[in-house]
Amino acid sequence: MTATAPGADEVRKRAFAFPRRHFLSVTDLDPVQVGELLDLAEGFVALNRQTTKKADLLKGRTLINLFFEASTRTQSSFELAGKRLGADVINMSPRASSIAKGETLVDTAVTLNAMQPDILVIRHGSSGAASLLAQKVSCSVINAGDGQHEHPSQALLDALSMRRAFGRLGGLTVAICGDVLHSRVARSNVALLTMLGAHVRVVGPPTLMPPDIARWGVEVHHHLKTGIAGADVVMMLRLQLERMQGALVPSMREYFRLWGLDREKLARAAGGVRVMHPGPMNRGVEIDSDVADDPQVSLIQDQVEMGVAMRMAILAAMAARLDNRGPL
Amino acid sequence: MTAQPMAFVGARLVDPESGYDGPGSLLISNGRIAEFTRGDEQGGLSDDIRQIRCEGALLCPGLVDLRVKTGEPGAEPKETLKSAARAAAAGGVTSIVVQPDTDPVIDDPAVVDFILRRARDIELVHVYPAGAATKGLEGEAMAELGLMREAGCVYVTNADRPVSDSRVMRRVLSYAQGLGILVAHRPADPWLTQCAGATESEFSGRLGLASAPVAAETIMLERDLALVELTGARFLVDQISAAAPLESLARAKARGLPILATASINHLSFNELDIGDYRTFCKLNPPLRGEDDRLALIEALARGLVDIVVSAHAPAQPEEKRLPFDEAAPGAIGLETLLPALLTLHHESRVPLGRLIHAVTMAPAQAIGLAAGRLTPGAPADLVLCDIEAPRLIDAAALISKSKNSPFDGRRLQGAVLMTLVDGRIVHEARP
């Protein structure tokens, strides 16, 4: 599956124009478009492993990272992706800006928009925040996580990691385990993986499951052991520790005992099972270090690497769309 | 100020008291209804009577809206009593009951007096205050229910802040029962509804919205009904919104408890899917429910289980609404769209016209002891003349309310107010 060291020209040949002005949800794409975007990302994986990682697909473009929530992986990978593609990138974080002075989300975005950026990457703690901004600004908006709604670039990078590990996505059994209720990663992954023909299970206590989740086209399991039985991929979700206070789960040790992933429970999954986690991990809460750090099993470091390549592909596709529009 | 006598001839009269729905004419003088004549014939009218040819337009009592929020005192940029009264007049609403969650809270006879004086100066529609059931709406100490009633409060309520302490609620009901005061309460379990702006469902789960199950309403309603049974207080269920609590209501009514229930026009007109792509104008309290719940509510209105329809007018400024859904203020304006939205329900053949009119005139008037809400000679000449067929595309920006947060924006409704009269005075007249 891995392309052999193509340069930036090789990537350019695969250029795929994003079908929409904004990227807010995985449902903005159809399965064919997802395939093309993943192919494009493969090219960037190869490019990123070279000494010279630069391509000038975003030359002259400005990218603003507007992150209202703390983020290590997503923000740095969008920043790196933008820089490797030749864009000017700035990072805005709430504490350093006038948001701390009471400026509203929309006002902040409209102000930044007046500086003529081409792409605004936003993360916000409220569901629908990216969609709200997309209605108010003229640049392209990429949703880097909105509340408990979606995190589409994460689902794409997860799909890329899985496709590289298994050579396919259709027919894989993927168990998404843990706090599905509060997880935008789970929502985007369920939507994308079911769209691509994978069998998706969600596993966790009922208090951490969204209402009527059975109608999302997934199998619902409340026991980890049965939930991951025969699974090709076990995707663990981060348990936010503040959930203990809300009477959602009783304690960390009970959670780990019943829903934490360790070697023994993992033995029930299919042979060649791969373990994923969107990070940051709570070792000893949802995942045992022994499993997380085993390179034979864990795709967690691959996910981080794929994160940069996938975001380069998304940005390149966005830029291709902007270029096709021609001079206004 | 008393206007010359007027005669409305050739109208379609709908009188919720007698149940009459047919052609007729109405004579008003000295601010009151003087004569009600059925049929097409009209006697000779003396020259000093102004004659208004209705040409079959609907003439019915002016609407009585039991749940209106304004921003006065405390948040005047949202809505003043005057702007609300103008909006009401334009919407055919001739009496409004303002909610106590102002700043300061209406929990004191002096604030009641302030509202009544302001309303008197405005001289448009009747404005009645609802008093707070507990001091500062805090749900802890009982407010001065008796003094507020003497000052002019028509009922007491804790507005959007349900009383979670059952002991306090019991005492409010018990005390009010002794004085014959009507108590309204929003059935919502405050723990289950914490931060929720949507109904718990597959839809809100996919959108990732903070949500509360319908059970939050059922639980609180069942508690309230049990306390009503215990105390015998007259009770008004403030905005029932779903099928399950309607069953609780039906059982309690069958037991003969002294209860009435309201539904908001929003919950009769919209369902949760109208939230669509995080439309904050559809963020309401109680939240919009599923379509099954909406249909159950319409059916309950048609058979009289739901007694009263309210606008639940709740103005909000753009800066409160132009936010991510979970952070946006709940509520929608509704005074000007209440009647056309009701008529649209009628045109969709859901509810007979007489039943709808009853739910916004006589039923609310009786609940709070007003003589209005009927076309009986001697009753106040609070009237609305309305073309029930006229199509209307709602443009929120063109509404009179100072706030424009109407979920009906862009909707096509049927029905237009031609003229509104309060005590025989024309307070609104549509330009021809």
Q: In what order do the strands lie in the sheet with A140-146?
A: A88-92, A62-67, A119-124, A140-146
**A145-159 pLDDT per residue, tens:** 999 999 999 999 999
Q: Which residue has the tokens 């940051």?
A: A280
In this prediction, residue A95 carries a pLDDT of: 66
Query: What Å distances lie between residue B96 and B62, B137, B182, CA to CA?
Result: 11, 21, 16
Query: What Å distances lie between residue B213 and B189, B201, B222, B326, B329, CA to CA?
Result: 10, 8, 15, 16, 19
Q: Is the pLDDT of residue A1 over 50?
A: no
In this prediction, residue A99 carries a pLDDT of: 63
Q: Is the pLDDT of residue A13 over 80?
A: no
In this prediction, residue B309 carries a pLDDT of: 98
Q: Is the pLDDT of residue A97 over 50?
A: yes
Six-digit token string for B361: 């005139």
Residue B108, CA atoms < 13 Å, CB-side half-sphere: 8
Six-digit token string for B306: 């739901």
Q: Is the pLDDT of residue A175 over 90?
A: yes
In this prediction, residue B229 carries a pLDDT of: 97
Q: Is the pLDDT of residue A282 over 50?
A: yes
In this prediction, residue A98 carries a pLDDT of: 62
C-alpha–C-alpha distance, residues B115 and B151, integer Å: 10
C-alpha–C-alpha distance, residues B405 and B333, integer Å: 6
Cβ distance of B208 and A146 shorter than 8 Å? yes
Q: What chain B residue is nearest to A213 in terms of C-alpha separation?
A: B202
Cβ distance of B324 and A124 shorter than 8 Å? yes
**B43-61 pLDDT per residue, tens:** 677 778 899 999 999 999 9
Q: Quick check: ipTM above 0.90?
A: no
Q: Is the pLDDT of residue A242 over 80?
A: no
Q: What chain B residue is nearest to A105 in terms of C-alpha separation?
A: B323
Low pLDDT (below 50) residues in chain B: 1
Cβ distance of A212 and B208 shorter than 8 Å? no
In this prediction, residue B2 carries a pLDDT of: 56
| Contact list, B202 vs chain A (CB under 8 Å) | 210-213, 215-216
Q: Who among B208, B213, B278 is closest to A132 (CB)?
A: B278
| Region for A177 from its dihedrals, namely left if φ exceeds 0, alpha if ψ lies in -120 to 50, beta otherwise | beta
Cβ distance of B208 and A127 shorter than 8 Å? yes
**Pairs across A and B, CB distance < 8 A:** 66
Three-state secondary-structure class, residue B310: strand
In this prediction, residue B60 carries a pLDDT of: 97
Pairing type for strands B20-29 and A140-146 reads: unpaired
Closest CA relative to residue B174, chosen from B250, B231, B218: B231
Give chain A's mean pLDDT.
90
Beta bridge partners of B253: none
**B167-224 pLDDT per residue, tens:** 999 999 999 999 999 999 999 999 999 888 999 999 999 999 999 999 999 999 999 9
Cβ distance of B211 and A211 shorter than 8 Å? yes
Segments of A186-326 assigned E as strands: 199-203, 219-221, 233-236, 274-276
CA B410 to chain centroid, in Å, comes to 22
Q: Whole-prediction pTM value?
A: 0.90
In this prediction, residue B42 carries a pLDDT of: 64
Between residues A214 and B3, which one has the greater pLDDT? A214
Once rounded to an integer, what is the mean pLDDT over residues A175-204? 96
Cβ distance of A150 and B278 shorter than 8 Å? no
User: Chain B closest CA to A263's CA: distance in Å?
Assistant: 32
In this prediction, residue A326 carries a pLDDT of: 41
C-alpha–C-alpha distance, residues B257 and B191, integer Å: 27
User: Chain A closest CA to B327's CA: distance in Å?
Assistant: 8
In this prediction, residue B45 carries a pLDDT of: 73
Between residues A14 and B264, which one has the greater pLDDT? B264
| Contact list, A148 vs chain B (CB under 8 Å) | 208-209
User: Chain A closest CA to B361's CA: distance in Å?
Assistant: 40
In this prediction, residue A96 carries a pLDDT of: 59
Within an 8 Å CB–CB cutoff, is residue B207 touching chain A?
yes
Beta bridge partners of A175: A201, A234
